[in-house]
Amino acid sequence: MSRQPRSAMSSGGRRSRIAAPVLSMILLGHHGGVNGVSLSPDGKLVVSGGEDKTLRIWRSDTGQCLMKIKGYMKGHSDFMNAVEFSPDGKQIASASKDRTVKLWDPTTGQCLRTLKGHDDWVLSVCYSPRGDLLATASGDKTIRLWSLKGMMKSGGRSKRGSGSSGDSGGKVSARVFSGHRGSVGSVAFSPDGTLLASGSWDQSVKLWNVSSGVCEGTLQGHHDAVDAVAFSPDGTL
């Protein structure tokens, strides 16, 4: 069966032909739902995490599973809700129902740090464009903004490969953004890193000033939970 191009309206009001996407590969190996996937910046790796409590790293060209990280002492103690590569591809962040976020070295599988502070499930993670900040969203109705500058200066290593926000291996501090009346399901940085958008189960989207932590606006209109937010590439939407 041949692909039938679909029509889409351009900004100038003219119709353009867009080829329908084609399934190129299915990656099998998880034993349960897959709740998060992320592509490395160079496009060579895919990371996935889900309800089997494992983090898997795959080659995007062949589908080969290069690494599986599992186990209470090394990995999360409950299922993962989200995973994301850092902008430089040197870290992976994973968010879990166990209320923690873990930072991983994708080349060795080593846990670099465990970030603790949320009082409920961590539902979303997002690196800033420069990779020096990590935003996390939780069922505790808050967003935490973690500064990773201390880790970057120390090479991202911590004693024994993991630890809370106060252990050795470079300081990781967090600011708390509060204002939503329901669980926060998603966060996203603007392309220039100055704004943070958050979508909540309170049916609203909030825009936060990253520097000051002030909520600069609340977008309302949805009639159910907002589970995903994103900025346009130029940051205007």
CB environment 155-182: b (16+ within 10 A), e (fewer): ebebeebbbebeeebbebebeebebbee
Cβ neighbourhood burial of 36 (10 Å; 0-12, 13-18, 19+): buried
Residue ranges of the chain whose pLDDT lies below 70: 1-16, 71-73, 150, 152-171
Whole-number Å distance between alpha carbons of 29 and 27? 7
Output the pTM of the full model.
0.83
User: Residue 4: which H helix or E strand, with range?
Assistant: none
- CA–CA distance from 230 to each of 48, 69, 130, 217 (Å)? 20, 29, 17, 15
Instruction: Give the closest residue to 82 by CA, choosing from 28, 123, 31, 143.
Output: 123
**Partners of 205 in the beta sheet?**
199, 219
pLDDT tens-digit series, residues 69-118? 875 557 788 999 999 999 999 999 999 999 999 999 999 999 999 999 99
What's the pLDDT at 170? 55
